[in-house]
Amino acid sequence: METSADKIRALPKAELHRHIEGCVRVATVIDLARRHNLKLPSFDPAELELSYKLRAPGASLAAVLGMFGLAQASFASYEAVERITFEALEDAYKKENIRLLELRYSPDFMLGRAGLDWKKAHELIAATCAKFEKNSNLVCGVIVIASRSYGLASAEKTIGFCVENKKTVAGFDLADSESSFPSSLYKDAAQKLHRAGIPLTVHSGEEGHFSQVVETIKQLAPRRIGHGVKAAEDASGGTIELVKNSGVTIETNPWSNYLTRAVAAIEAHPLKKFIRAGVKCTIGADDPEILDTDLNKEYGLAVEKMGLSSDELRYTLRCAVQGSFLSPDRRQQAAKELGL
C-alpha cells in the first residue's frame, strides 16, 4: 500500500535554498578526513553524527559552529569540492525527486580554509551541475554567497567575483548574522548587483525582529528573502503586506527554523499564514545533512504539522519556478518536469 510518505517522495519537487556546505554526507566527511589527514571527533559514522548533526533545538552556538566546521574542513581539495557537489545533486535528485534546484555556497567560508582558488573551484561546481543536468531531468543553478560575518571587504570581493563569473552564476545571496551586520550596510553592494543584472536573495528575518525584513526590502530590493519568519510576528500585518506588495518570494526552511528556535514549534511556522496572505513562498531544507532533513521531511511536515493542502504544495512549486533565478527557458523546462 502506498503511504503518504511514498506519495511525498514520488512528488517532483523544487528547492531554491540549499547550501552546498550543508550537503556533505557523513560517510564523505569520514572518507575525506582519512584522505586529507583531518581530525574528526570520531571515525565511526553513528558516533560522528552526534557532533555533526543537529537533531534537536537548544544546542549551543559552539556546538553548531563545530558542525559547520566539520563540513567546512571537508572542502580540502578540488576533488573534494567536485565530489561534494556531485553528491548534493545526486541526493536531491534520487532521494528527494527534486527537479529544480538552486545550490548556493560562500566562497570565503567554503574555499578559504584550504586556500582553494575561487575561480577554479567555481568552474568545477558549475561544470558538475551542467554535467548532472545533461544526464538527468534536473534543472539546476548556482548562487554565490557573501557571509555577512566575514565583513564588508569579503562581500565586496564576492560581488566582484560574481560579476566576473556572471555566465555561470544564477544569483547572489547575503547570508548569516543579520543582527551584527544589518542589511543597511550593504546598500551599495546591492546596487552593484542590480546594475550588473545579478538577481539577489537575502537571508533576513531568520532571527531578531520583523523590522529587519522591512529594512532588507527597502534598502536592498531583493527578489527573494531566505527564511523571513519574523515577518509574521508583526501584529499589524504590515510586514507581510510589504513582502507581498514587493513581489518578494520567501524561501522558507521550516525544520531549520525549528532547530534554531526561530519558531517555537514546527506547528507555529508561518508558512501557511504566508500562503493565505498571498505571499509567494517556497519550501527548502537549508542544510540537509547538518540539520538532518530533506525535502521529503519538509513536505511531510508542511502537510502533517502545518496543514498544507496538496494545492498549497503545488502553489509553492509554482512560486519556486516563478521565483527561480534561472533563465526563462530553463524555468519553463523545470515547470514541465514539475508537472505544472
Residues forming contacts to Zn ion in the complex (CB under 5 A) are 286
Nearer to Zn ion, 89 or 145 (CB): 145
Residue nearest to Zn ion (CB): 286
Report in angstroms how near the CB of residue 52 gets to Zn ion at its nearest. Answer: 18
Report in angstroms how near the CB of residue 228 gets to Zn ion at its nearest. Answer: 11
Nearer to Zn ion, 74 or 256 (CB): 256
Report in angstroms how near the CB of residue 203 gets to Zn ion at its nearest. Answer: 6
What 3-state class would DSSP assign to 112? helix
Nearer to Zn ion, 33 or 220 (CB): 220
Report in angstroms how near the CB of residue 295 gets to Zn ion at its nearest. Answer: 14
Residue with cell 546596487: 191
Distances (CA, A) of 327 to 64, 84, 141, 333: 35, 25, 10, 10
Report in angstroms how near the CB of residue 125 gets to Zn ion at its nearest. Answer: 17
Nearer to Zn ion, 30 or 220 (CB): 220
Contacts of 247 (CB under 8 A, 6+ apart): 223, 280
Nine-digit cell at 176?
548569516
Rounded CA-CA distance 322/121 in Å is 29
Report in angstroms how near the CB of residue 288 gets to Zn ion at its nearest. Answer: 11
Nearer to Zn ion, 105 or 274 (CB): 105
Report in angstroms how near the CB of residue 103 gets to Zn ion at its nearest. Answer: 11
Nearer to Zn ion, 30 or 199 (CB): 199
CB distance 284 to 18 below 8 Å: yes
Let me know the angle formed at the C-alpha of 284 by 279 and 287, rounded to the nearest 5 degrees. 145
Q: Work out the end-to-end distance of the chain between its first and last CA atoms, rounded to an integer number of angstroms.
A: 26
Neighbours of 206 (CB within 10 A): 24
If you write DSSP's letter for every residue of 297-310 in order, what string do you get? Answer: HHHHHHHHTS---H
Distances (CA, A) of 40 to 33, 36, 47, 66, 115: 7, 11, 10, 11, 20
Nearer to Zn ion, 102 or 286 (CB): 286
Neighbours of 51 (CB within 10 A): 14
